[in-house]
């Protein structure tokens, strides 16, 4: 039976790469989308087609010989199932987040490049873990009630920019850059953590052997019951989300959001402050994998070192940008943070123990 994948973004491309690697006998004929706007005509070497065009190519009998894997965010999958049924496709399956995460575990274990946390043995020691969840007054309520683990603490970001309070903790206490949230996005929460929880000499919860992290209101790690027990006894330095692949590379992906002049400002900042990383920057931009969302969990010392590296680069990039970062509010620094996280941890992959888990989208 032929296989087509409904979806054409990083989620779907990741599924395609995994299936092609793990199950090479499965023939994937094409990616399917509702409309071509914003989608490439070819992805992974196979065509991207609208569902209407694809349905028009096939007879009723041929449609019965096609299986369609729905590789989109969970919340739109029921609607897509109905559309598929209306076009005469009755063999379809949802690639839910849980199934996608399991597929990524198998795929990355096979590649031996982005180690799954679940591949490590379960230990005996439960570490101190504190993850701050960036939450904005502009966030729409979730459709369903979600109970947060006891180690996740909502932290309001951009607090200086509004009067409404949506969390007990806010990013405008102590040392902060809350007013820059329009550019820095969830990174104002990371800055607050760095200055008020991570810096040497700051009285903070936990010691150097314990773990601090950042997630978003709608994006957070999907830890199993045993995952936290894998951290200390395996000397894990950092936990990151499974990276998503983009074609032809992550530079082309970010061109949708960031101007070339701003990339040049970032490269100049790297050359001035971190020339060794500047040399590797073109290589990182020229590969497919990106750590999305600025989501991370790491040893306190590792996360502090990362922040001490990251924020001077972002500050210098603001100064070099035209117009300067202080004169705009278009989220470009937040997008750059994703690429810099990718650069930092890929460059240091040989000296740090980095593992990966799924990053669930809440709706």
Q: What is the pLDDT of residues 21-38, one digit of tens each?
A: 999 999 999 999 999 998
Q: How confident is the model at residue 143 (pLDDT cuts 50, 70, 90)?
A: confident
pLDDT reported for residue 122: 97
Tokens for 23? 């199950």
Give the model's confidence band at 306: pLDDT under 50 very low, under 70 low, under 90 confident, else very high.
very high
Residues 256, 254: Cα–Cα separation, whole Å: 5
Residue 205 has pLDDT above 60, yes or no: no
**In angstroms, rounded to a whole number, what is the distance separating the alpha carbons of residues 335 and 183?**
9
Please answer whether residues 138 and 117 qualify as being in contact, where contact means their C-beta atoms are separated by less than 8 angstroms: no
* 34 prior amide bond cis, ω within 30: no
Domains and CATH numbers, the chain: 2-111 (3.40.50.20), 117-361 (3.90.550)
> Lowest-confidence range among 111-115, 335-339, 340-344?
111-115
Per-residue pLDDT of 275-298, as tens digits, reads: 999 999 999 999 999 999 999 999
Q: Which of 305, 307, 135, 149 is nearest to 216 (CA)?
A: 135
Q: What does the pLDDT look like over 53-81, one tens digit per residue?
A: 999 999 999 999 999 999 998 989 999 99
In whole numbers, what is the pLDDT of the chain averaged over residues? 93
pLDDT (0 to 100) of residue 69: 98
- Say what the pLDDT of residue 140 is: 86
Residue 113 has pLDDT above 60, yes or no: yes
pLDDT at 201 over 70: no
Q: Is the pLDDT of residue 187 over 80?
A: yes
Q: Could you tell me the pLDDT band of residue 203, with boundaries at 50, 70 and 90?
A: low
| Angle between helices 300-320 and 332-347 in degrees, nearest 10 | 130
């Amino acid at each position: 039976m032929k296989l087509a994948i409904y979806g054409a973004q990083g989620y779907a491309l990741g599924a395609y790469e995994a299936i092609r690697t793990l199950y090479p006998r499965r023939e994937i004929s094409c990616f399917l989308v509702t409309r071509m706007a914003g989608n490439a005509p070819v992805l992974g070497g196979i065509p991207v087609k609208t569902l209407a065009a694809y349905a028009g190519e096939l007879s009723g009998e041929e449609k019965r010989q096609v299986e369609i894997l729905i590789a989109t965010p969970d919340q739109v999958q029921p609607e897509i199932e109905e559309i598929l049924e209306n076009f005469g496709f009755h063999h379809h399956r949802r690639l839910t987040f849980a199934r996608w995460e399991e597929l990524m575990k198998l795929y990355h274990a096979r590649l031996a490049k982005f180690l799954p946390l679940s591949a490590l043995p379960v230990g005996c020691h439960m570490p101190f873990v504190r993850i701050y969840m960036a939450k904005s007054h502009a966030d729409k309520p979730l459709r369903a009630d979600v109970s947060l683990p006891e180690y996740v603490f909502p932290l309001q970001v951009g607090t200086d920019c509004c009067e409404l309070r949506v969390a007990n903790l806010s990013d405008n206490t102590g040392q902060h850059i809350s007013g820059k949230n329009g550019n820095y996005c969830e990174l104002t929460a990371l800055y607050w953590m760095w200055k008020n929880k991570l810096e040497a000499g700051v009285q903070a919860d936990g010691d150097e052997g314990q773990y601090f992290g950042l997630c978003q209101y709608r994006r957070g790690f999907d830890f199993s019951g045993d995952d936290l027990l894998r951290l200390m006894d395996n000397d894990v330095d950092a936990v990151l989300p499974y990276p998503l692949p983009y074609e032809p590379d992550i530079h082309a992906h970010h061109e949708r959001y960031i101007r070339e002049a701003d990339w040049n400002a970032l490269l100049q900042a790297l050359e001035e402050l971190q020339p060794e990383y500047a040399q590797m920057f073109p290589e990182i931009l020229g590969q497919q994998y990106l750590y999305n969302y600025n989501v991370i969990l790491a040893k306190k010392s590792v996360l502090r070192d990362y922040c001490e590296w990251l924020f001077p680069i972002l500050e210098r990039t603001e100064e070099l940008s035209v117009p300067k970062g202080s004169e705009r509010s278009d989220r470009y620094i937040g997008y750059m943070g994703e690429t810099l996280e990718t650069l930092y941890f890929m460059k240091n992959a040989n000296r740090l123990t980095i593992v990966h888990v799924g990053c669930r989208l809440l709706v």
